[in-house]
Amino acid sequence: MTTIGAYSTSLLNSASQGYATTTAQPSLAQVLDEQNSDSSSSSSTNVTLSDAAKSYLASMQDAAATGDSADVSLDTLAANARAWFDTQYDSLGISSAMLDGKVAVDFSSQSRATLSAVASNTDGLFTSDESAAATSELQARFNNAMASHVVIARHTGDYASLYQAASDYLDQASDGEKATAAWKAQKLAVTTGLSAANSNFGKAPDTGDANDPVAALLDGPDSGITTLGSDATTSQVAANARAMLDDQENKAKDNGTTLSFYSSQTSGQKVDFTNFDNRTLATIMLNPDSSFSSDEIYAAKQELNQRTRTAMYNTLFPSSNGSPDSSSTGALGLMQTYNNMSAEEKTVLGVTDTTTSRVLASYKTQQSVQNTLASYL
């Protein structure tokens, strides 16, 4: 139940189409008459609101809270935003909306229209950092709204529906937002993208437009961290590896193809392990959370084996890679290589304490022989 007290007549009339009536449920007109005539009754009346009415009232409250209404001019939005920034700086003790490349102010109370005014540097009132921060916030809100549509597009290949959803999102803007240069540029880019997506099913269109918010979303930063601290658990490494592979699979889908894990495959987008360290590759092979496919495990194994063979060869024969340093060759070099391996690497490569003990014994023998020979020189 939602309680309606002293709401104005105009507000109730606007929402009247959304009320649901039940048996003995008074009409809105009766409610108003009873409120005006019955002074002994309660000052509020309980009525049941439909979802449509609740949505209407919520939108009215949001508009009042943010000032994002049709009768707010672009100049007014910009002036109010300028005052808001100045207040934030005084309150937070900072002088810029961006610190260390990250947004340093909380935009949650600001409307899309206000953010667009800032991003467009309306009336020249804003710094480049303020415009960049507002642009970042607008993109983040757009990304959140489009998240489910992106999943569907990558699953079905229907990128036209994704662009249509983006177009609908932009069309929901207030008149103030639509008046900004940022909104106009994004609307044009999305319209172009929608047309291209309709003409080429199964692939994300390449609009080549820096103002295309859909392209910015699809080409956004990878979700994988790439490098974790040494204190990360095996499960954390596995989760990060899963995210990194998912990023590549998503990019492949956006390009209208699939991710390839075998050198013999001539089609598809070959998996790129450049940003995967050896511990991550070993963790994929271990598959601790059963989150990796047999294809992914095979490809990771091939990459790790190749890296290990190369590292061992360069350790035993440093001159082969142009290194004049012989201090870490032979058994000593192998010891250093083994000691630098993660626990996951040692497990998949079969490096045990027995292995390192044998290498250490070999090193001691080598040193003993060298010392003996040196005594005869």
Residue 34 has pLDDT above 70, yes or no: no
d(CA 54, CA 60): 10
Average pLDDT over residues 99-108: 95
d(CA 342, CA 335): 13
Cβ-contact 287, 275 below 8 angstroms: no
pLDDT given for residue 119 in this prediction: 93
- Strands (E) across the chain are located at 2-4, 45-47, 98-99, 102-103, 259-260, 269-270
Residue 131 has pLDDT above 80, yes or no: yes
By mean pLDDT, which of 210-224, 225-239, 351-365 is the weakest? 351-365
pLDDT given for residue 339 in this prediction: 81
pLDDT given for residue 230 in this prediction: 81
pLDDT given for residue 50 in this prediction: 65
Residue 120, burial from CB neighbour count under 10 angstroms (0-12, 13-18, 19+): buried
The amino acid at residue 242 is R
Average pLDDT over residues 115-134: 95
Average pLDDT over residues 271-275: 95
Residue 31 has pLDDT above 50, yes or no: no
Residue 189 has pLDDT above 70, yes or no: yes
By mean pLDDT, which of 60-74, 262-276, 291-305, 322-336 is the weakest? 60-74
Nearest to 80 by CA among 106, 103, 104, 109: 109
d(CA 252, CA 256): 6
Cβ-contact 243, 224 below 8 angstroms: yes
Q: What is the pLDDT of residues 298-318, one digit of tens each?
A: 999 999 999 999 988 887 776
Q: For residue 350, what pLDDT band results from cuts at 50, 70 and 90?
A: confident
Cβ-contact 269, 248 below 8 angstroms: yes
In percent, the amount of the chain with pLDDT more than 70 equals 69
Q: Between 128-156 and 159-171, two packed helices, what is the crossing angle to 10 degrees?
A: 140
d(CA 170, CA 116): 11
- The count of other CB atoms within 10 Å of the CB of residue 94 is 13
Mean predicted lDDT score pLDDT of the chain: 81
Cβ-contact 340, 304 below 8 angstroms: no
pLDDT given for residue 217 in this prediction: 94
pTM: 0.62
Task: Quote the tokens at residue 95.
Answer: 């002088």
Handedness of CA 29, 35, 37, 38 (dihedral sign): positive
pLDDT given for residue 320 in this prediction: 58
d(CA 74, CA 116): 9
If one compares 67 and 128, the residue with the highest pLDDT of the two is 128
Cβ-contact 2, 54 below 8 angstroms: yes
If one compares 278 and 337, the residue with the highest pLDDT of the two is 278
If one compares 225 and 336, the residue with the highest pLDDT of the two is 336
If one compares 42 and 365, the residue with the highest pLDDT of the two is 365
pLDDT given for residue 287 in this prediction: 97
Residue 354 has pLDDT above 90, yes or no: no
15-18: long-range contacts, CB 8 A cutoff, minimum separation 24? 15/49, 15/53, 15/56, 15/57, 17/52, 17/53, 18/49, 18/50, 18/51, 18/52, 18/53, 18/54, 18/55, 18/56
pLDDT given for residue 22 in this prediction: 42
Task: Quote the tokens at residue 163.
Answer: 């662009």
String of DSSP letters for 311-358: HHHHHH-GGGGT----TT-HHHHHHHHHHTS-HHHHHHHT--HHHHHH
Q: For residue 41, what pLDDT band results from cuts at 50, 70 and 90?
A: very low
Residues in contact with 243: Cβ distance below 8 Å, sequence separation at least 6, in sequence order:
222, 223, 224, 225
Residue 138 has pLDDT above 70, yes or no: yes
**3-state DSSP assignment of residue 48:** coil
Task: Quote the tokens at residue 232.
Answer: 């990360």
Q: What is the pLDDT of residues 145-185, one digit of tens each?
A: 999 999 999 999 999 999 999 999 999 998 888 988 889 99
The amino acid at residue 305 is N
Average pLDDT over residues 132-152: 95
d(CA 151, CA 154): 5
| Cα angle: 148, vertex 150, 154; to 5 degrees | 125
d(CA 314, CA 7): 81
Average pLDDT over residues 100-129: 95
pLDDT given for residue 1 in this prediction: 44
By mean pLDDT, which of 60-69, 107-116, 273-282 is the weakest? 60-69
